């Protein structure tokens, strides 16, 4: 068994474990974004194995919108999303506020609960989200989505070619 198969099985097993626990919020993140991974690793440390936050890598080839609040890959790549236990999807700064509150660090984003400051924070986050891929040296969103679609088609049709 190759290292990538083992890693893929471990990711799937980790997702199943976190799905079966009593998570309070499911964070959808881009596992191919170095800045996103830095934040997720910090949050995992804060969670300390309690399972309060379920971490879901949208870049994983097994990601399905149906299991994650109906948030499709392209939408999740455009803005950060999370899913609440009732299935409701949230996005933007509200995600950070809720995750930090869940982990007992709500004070970090508490000021964003104020309407004017919250709107301003969402505006700033929107600017960041629009530039995230470029700032991390990655292709634009349309290219990433097209490449993912090709990979998924290749996987389902079983006719992959290595170039």
Q: For 40-74, what is each residue's pLDDT tens digit? A: 999 999 999 999 999 999 999 999 999 999 999 99
Give the predicted TM-score (pTM) of the model: 0.81
pLDDT tens digits, one per residue of 98-138 = 999 999 999 999 999 999 999 999 999 999 999 999 999 99
Q: Which residues contact 26 (CB under 8 A, 6 or more apart)?
A: 18, 53, 54, 55, 56, 68, 69, 82, 83, 84
CA 117, 121, 126, 131 torsion-angle sign: positive
Domain ranges of the chain: 3-157
């Amino acid at each position: 068994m190759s290292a990538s198969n083992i890693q893929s099985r471990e990711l799937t097993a980790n997702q199943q474990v976190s799905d079966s626990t009593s998570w309070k919020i499911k964070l959808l993140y881009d596992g191919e974004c170095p800045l996103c991974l830095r934040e997720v690793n910090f949050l995992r440390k804060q969670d300390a194995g309690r399972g309060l936050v379920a971490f879901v890598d949208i870049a994983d080839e097994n990601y399905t919108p149906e299991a994650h609040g109906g948030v499709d890959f392209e939408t999740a790549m455009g803005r950060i999303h999370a899913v609440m236990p009732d299935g409701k999807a949230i996005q933007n700064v509200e995600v950070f506020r809720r995750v930090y509150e869940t982990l007992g660090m709500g004070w970090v984003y508490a000021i964003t609960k104020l309407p004017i400051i919250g709107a301003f924070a969402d505006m700033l986050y929107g600017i960041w989200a629009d530039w995230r891929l470029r700032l991390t040296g990655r292709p634009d969103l349309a290219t990433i989505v097209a490449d993912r679609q090709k990979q998924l088609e290749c996987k389902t049709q079983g006719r992959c070619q290595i170039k």
